[in-house]
Amino acid sequence: MGKDKKNKASKHIRCDVQFDDNPQGVFRAGDTVSGTVEIQLDKPKKFRGIALRINGFAATSWYARLTGTDAKNVKSNKKTHHHGREDYFGTITYFVGSDVGNPLEVLAGVYRYTFTCEIPPNAPSSMEGKYGHIRYVVKLSLERPWKYDHVYQVPIVVKSHADLCLAQERMLKPVRAELVQTFYFGLTDPLIVTATTPRTGYAPGEVIEVTIHVNNQSSVDVRSISVKFQRVDTFMSQVPIVRHFWEHTVMEERTIGRVAGRNDAMFEENILIGSTVPSDDERCRIIMTRYEVEVMIRPVRSRKKLFLTLPIVIGTVGLPKTLYPLQLLSKEREALGMDALAMAVPLTPIPTEAPPPYQDDFQPSTSRAFSADNLTDGPTAPLATEDIKEHEFEKGSAPYTPRDFDENE
């Protein structure tokens, strides 16, 4: 087989993108992205243009069976590519030439160009999922006529702002769920399970206090109780039809012991929230993120699994700690690993400021993910080589997947 010249690295071109006072490339919605592009040519090259593109977009993609009829009224049931896209901003700056100009010869040497771009204040947070993603990319294209472009791109991370104080009354409301279950066709007394959290809104670094009350009036034992704190991402396609798929990412999972029949038990689990993206169902119309605490009860001698769901809202700025009961503050200290001596001394005066937002270092997710069990048609995510293309206005560019420079002129 012949060599793939398209992906062959060039020995004569080196590019680098440096962000001003932000080497890691982590920004917040509303920030201004500025920096310097450095291009080093070891020998003269001909380009139609040298352009820098900065854009942010959301894209969804998967394959699933679509049932319908064709133009000849024949029923079909074949795998179809479902996809969607939403763009938030896009800028193009030509440092040399243009997209329609004649080729220009650029002499050997080092060239530096500055750039600046403002991220919209309502831009959603960067995220990667099985069926879609939200990405922000700085892409440098050295465009050549009749040949593949030299492309160098750098991803940036954007974190949206979600202040829970803007909906303080709703965030302070407790969450409660209850189920009542009988067995053997209703011949037993009921199993009553209640799960609660003291409030709805939380921020990273805070603790979710989950209380589970099991009132087992039946004669059937409860084999186990599991508690999951999970993120639920909803992906929506726009073409060929509007369709939704879900991805569940378990952030933390715990298992509680059994409860015998004719017994009453109370359990409490304190779940520390780590670094994660905030809840969002407004900024992006094709990818929505929400959080929940799921309680699963497994009775003995029954294949049925009973579920309780507590919706949770995660923000970047938490509620003022003056609104917390002192008991909850002590639980947060305990979950954060403070020693017993620190727990024994009286609490220091409660600060009035809100907890700090996310850290500025981007941490990739290490949680496991699985698709919803009740879905049909077996959706499959596209292969990496079938990634979503960039803006249609990017003339001369190849698909979105990164590629190295072409050695041929």
Rounded CA gap, 222 and 319, in Å? 37
Rounded CA gap, 154 and 202, in Å? 32
Reported as a single tens digit per residue, the pLDDT across 86-129 is 999 999 999 999 988 889 999 999 999 999 999 999 999 999 99
Mean pLDDT lowest among 135-139, 142-146, 297-301, 324-328: 324-328
Rounded CA gap, 257 and 130, in Å? 33
At 345 the pLDDT is: 41
Torsion-angle region of 109 (φ positive above 0: left; ψ -120 to 50: alpha; else: beta): left
Reported as a single tens digit per residue, the pLDDT across 49-74 is 999 999 999 999 999 998 877 666 66
User: The tokens of 326 are what?
Assistant: 């002192």
Stronger pLDDT, 203 or 9, i.e. the higher one: 203
**Structural contact between residues 115 and 93, judged by C-beta atoms closer than 8 angstroms:** yes
Can you tell me whether residue 165 is helix, strand or coil? helix
pTM: 0.77
Second CATH level (architecture) for the domain 164-340: Sandwich (2.60)
Q: In what helix (H) or strand (E) does residue 130 lie, and over which residues does it extend?
A: none
User: The tokens of 305 are what?
Assistant: 């699994």
Rounded CA gap, 348 and 329, in Å? 11
**Structural contact between residues 30 and 167, judged by C-beta atoms closer than 8 angstroms:** no
Residue 152 scores a pLDDT above 50: yes
Rounded CA gap, 291 and 167, in Å? 17
Q: Which amino acid is at 296?
A: M
Query: How many CA atoms lie within 13 Å of 106's alpha carbon, on the beta-carbon side?
Result: 24
In this chain, the answer to whether the domains covering 13-159 and 164-340 adopt an identical fold is yes
At 4 the pLDDT is: 42
Mean pLDDT of the chain: 83
Can you tell me whether residue 326 is helix, strand or coil? helix
Q: In what helix (H) or strand (E) does residue 171 lie, and over which residues does it extend?
A: helix 168-171
Residue 355 scores a pLDDT above 80: no
Can you tell me whether residue 6 is helix, strand or coil? helix
Rounded CA gap, 268 and 327, in Å? 13
At 379 the pLDDT is: 65
Q: Which amino acid is at 123?
A: A
| Burial of 369: CB neighbours in 10 Å, binned 0-12, 13-18, 19+ | middle
User: The tokens of 199 are what?
Assistant: 């409030």
Stronger pLDDT, 4 or 53, i.e. the higher one: 53
Instruction: Give 77's contacts (C-beta < 8 A, 6+ positions apart).
Output: 65, 66, 67
The CATH class given to the 13-159 domain equals mainly beta
Average confidence (pLDDT) over 273-289: 96
Per-residue confidence band for 302, with pLDDT thresholds at 50, 70 and 90: confident
Rounded CA gap, 338 and 17, in Å? 42
> What ranges do the domains of the chain cover?
13-159, 164-340
Can you tell me whether residue 335 is helix, strand or coil? helix
Average confidence (pLDDT) over 1-26: 76
**Structural contact between residues 232 and 248, judged by C-beta atoms closer than 8 angstroms:** yes
CA distances from 347 to 325, 329, 333, 350 (A): 12, 9, 10, 8
177-216: burial string, b at 16+ Cβ within 10 Å, e else: beeebebeeeeeeebbbbbbbbbbbbbbbbbbbbebebbb
At 301 the pLDDT is: 79
Residue 332 scores a pLDDT above 80: no
Per-residue confidence band for 333, with pLDDT thresholds at 50, 70 and 90: low
Q: Highest mean pLDDT range out of 177-181, 317-321, 382-386?
A: 177-181
Largest CA distance in the chain: 88
At 52 the pLDDT is: 98
Task: Say which DSSP state 385 is in.
Answer: G
Average confidence (pLDDT) over 34-52: 95
At 304 the pLDDT is: 86
**Structural contact between residues 183 and 223, judged by C-beta atoms closer than 8 angstroms:** no
Q: Can you point out the beta strands (E) in 200-279?
A: 201-202, 207-216, 222-237, 243-256, 263-272
User: The tokens of 225 are what?
Assistant: 């109780």
**How far does CA 405 lie from the centroid of its chain?**
31
Reported as a single tens digit per residue, the pLDDT across 384-398 is 444 444 443 333 333
